[in-house]
C-alpha cells in the first residue's frame, strides 16, 4: 500500500475511534427525565391548549437563549431546564410538542400544565389544562410510543432508571381554597382538614406514578405562597407575607414529608425524595441582598402594588435587570432564583432535601 494512503487510512481509523469515544460516554450517561406538575415546571404544553394559563408572549422568555416566549413561566430557564443541565441531559420537550418524536423521546418528556393542582377542581377557571390524572395517562401513552421504538423491556428500563420531578400543591391553595372568600372547598373543610385531604389525594397520585415505573421521584413541597408578589398586592400593608397562606404551607409541607417517608417504607426503598421548596425560597425572601437581589417583594414584570396585580404582559412594568429580582412575575421566581433552588436540590443539606440531595442520588445510581 502507498505510504500516503496508509497514513490516510490510519488517520481515518483514528478519527473514527475518537468519534466513537465521544459518543459512547454521552449515550451511557444519558438519563431520561420526566416532569409532572404545574406552572413552576410547565415548559410549553399549555401553548397547545385553549386556556388563559399561558406564557406564550413577550416579555416571557426575554432572557431565554432564543429571547422568545416558550410557554415557560420565566424570564429564561425554569427548574426542569436547570435540572437537565445538572444531570447532563438535553432539556425535555413538552409532551404536546410535534418535535417530540424518534430519538428525542428517549430524553424524556415534560407533561406539566400551568394551573393544575392535586385536586381536579383546582384551576377550573383556566378551563383547558392537563390535570394530573391526564398527565399520568399521557405518561402511559408515552411508554407505548417508546416501546414501539426500542421494545418493552428497554422502555421499562429507561423509565425505571429515569429521574422524575413532581411539583404540585400551591394551586390547591392559591387557585382553589383561597381563590374566593367563601370557596366551595373552604366551606367544605377547615384548613387543617383540607391539608389532610390534599395529602391523602397526593399519596394516590404518587402511588400511581410508582405503578407506572417511576423509581426516582423528586417531590417538591409548597413554597412560601403567602410571600409571592400577587399575594402581597392583595393582603399586605407593609410587605409582610399573607398569614393564612403561610399557615397553609406550614401545615402542608411537614405532612408531605411524613407521607413520602411512609411511601418509601411501603415500597422498600428511597423512591420519593422530598425537596423543601419552602426553606429554599425563604432563604432569599428573608434576605434577598445576601443572594444578590435588590428585592424579593416586587416582581420584575407586572403592575400595581409590588407589580403583583394581573398578568405579566407587553404593557406591564418591566425591570431592566432580571437578575436583581427574586420574582419574575406575580407568582413565579426569576431564572436566577430558579438556579438557587436547583443548586439546593443538587447539594443541599437535610434541611432542604430528604432523605438525600440530587448529587447523592446521582452518585448512588451511577454505581448500580
Q: What are phi and psi of 166, to 5 degrees?
A: -125, 120
- 359 has catalytic annotation: no
Strand, coil or helix: what is 332? coil
Torsion of CA 30, 31, 32, 35, to 10 degrees: -120
Which residue out of 39, 113, 236, 334 is catalytically annotated?
39
Task: State how far the Cα of 270 lies from the Cα of 216, in Å rounded to an integer.
Answer: 8
Which residue out of 316, 329, 334, 354 is catalytically annotated?
329
Q: Taking a C-beta distance cutoff of 8 angstroms, is the pair 231, 222 a contact? A: no
- 39 has catalytic annotation: yes
Task: State how far the Cα of 46 lies from the Cα of 71, in Å rounded to an integer.
Answer: 7
Which residue out of 42, 74, 97, 332 is catalytically annotated?
332
- 67 has catalytic annotation: no
Task: State how far the Cα of 300 lies from the Cα of 286, in Å rounded to an integer.
Answer: 18
Among 335, 338, 342, 343, CA closest to 63? 335
Cell numbers found for residue 145 = 410510543
Task: State how far the Cα of 260 lies from the Cα of 265, in Å rounded to an integer.
Answer: 9
List active site positions.
39, 329, 332
Amino acid at each position: 500500500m502507498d505510504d500516503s494512503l496508509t497514513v490516510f487510512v490510519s488517520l481515518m481509523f483514528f478519527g473514527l475511534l475518537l468519534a466513537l469515544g465521544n459518543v459512547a460516554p454521552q449515550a451511557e450517561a444519558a438519563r431520561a427525565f420526566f416532569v409532572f406538575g404545574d406552572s413552576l415546571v410547565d415548559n410549553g404544553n399549555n401553548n397547545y391548549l385553549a386556556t388563559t394559563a399561558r406564557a406564550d408572549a413577550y416579555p416571557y422568555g426575554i432572557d431565554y437563549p432564543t429571547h422568545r416566549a416558550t410557554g415557560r413561566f420565566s424570564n429564561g430557564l425554569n427548574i426542569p431546564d436547570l435540572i437537565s443541565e445538572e444531570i447532563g441531559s438535553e432539556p425535555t420537550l413538552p409532551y404536546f410538542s410535534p418535535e417530540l418524536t424518534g430519538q428525542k423521546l428517549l430524553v424524556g418528556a415534560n407533561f406539566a400544565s400551568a394551573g393544575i393542582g392535586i385536586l381536579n377542581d383546582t384551576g377550573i377557571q383556566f378551563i383547558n389544562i392537563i390535570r394530573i390524572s391526564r398527565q399520568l395517562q399521557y405518561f402511559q401513552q408515552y411508554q407505548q410510543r417508546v416501546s414501539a421504538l426500542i421494545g418493552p423491556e428497554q422502555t421499562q428500563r429507561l423509565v425505571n432508571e429515569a429521574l422524575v420531578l413532581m411539583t404540585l400543591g400551591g394551586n390547591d391553595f392559591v387557585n382553589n381554597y383561597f381563590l374566593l372568600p367563601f370557596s366551595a372547598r373552604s366551606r367544605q373543610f377547615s384548613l387543617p382538614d383540607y391539608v389532610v385531604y390534599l395529602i391523602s389525594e397526593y399519596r394516590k397520585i404518587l402511588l400511581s406514578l410508582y405503578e407506572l415505573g417511576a423509581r426516582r421521584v423528586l417531590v417538591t413541597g409548597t413554597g412560601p405562597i403567602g410571600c409571592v408578589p400577587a399575594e402581597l398586592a392583595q393582603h399586605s400593608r407593609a410587605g409582610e407575607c399573607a398569614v393564612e397562606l403561610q399557615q397553609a404551607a406550614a401545615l402542608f409541607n411537614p405532612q408531605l414529608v411524613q407521607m413520602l417517608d411512609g411511601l418509601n417504607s411501603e415500597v422498600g426503598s428511597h423512591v420519593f425524595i422530598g425537596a423543601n421548596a419552602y426553606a429554599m425560597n425563604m432563604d432569599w425572601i428573608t434576605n434577598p441582598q445576601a443572594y444578590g437581589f435588590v428585592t424579593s417583594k416586587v416582581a420584575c414584570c407586572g403592575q400595581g402594588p409590588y407589580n403583583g396585580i394581573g398578568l405579566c404582559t407587553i404593557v406591564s412594568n418591566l425591570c431592566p435587570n432580571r437578575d436583581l429580582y427574586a420574582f419574575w412575575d406575580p407568582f413565579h421566581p426569576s431564572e436566577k432564583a430558579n438556579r438557587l433552588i436547583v443548586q439546593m436540590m443538587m447539594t443541599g443539606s437535610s434541611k432542604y432535601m430528604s432523605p438525600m440531595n440530587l448529587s447523592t442520588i446521582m452518585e448512588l445510581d451511577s454505581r448500580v
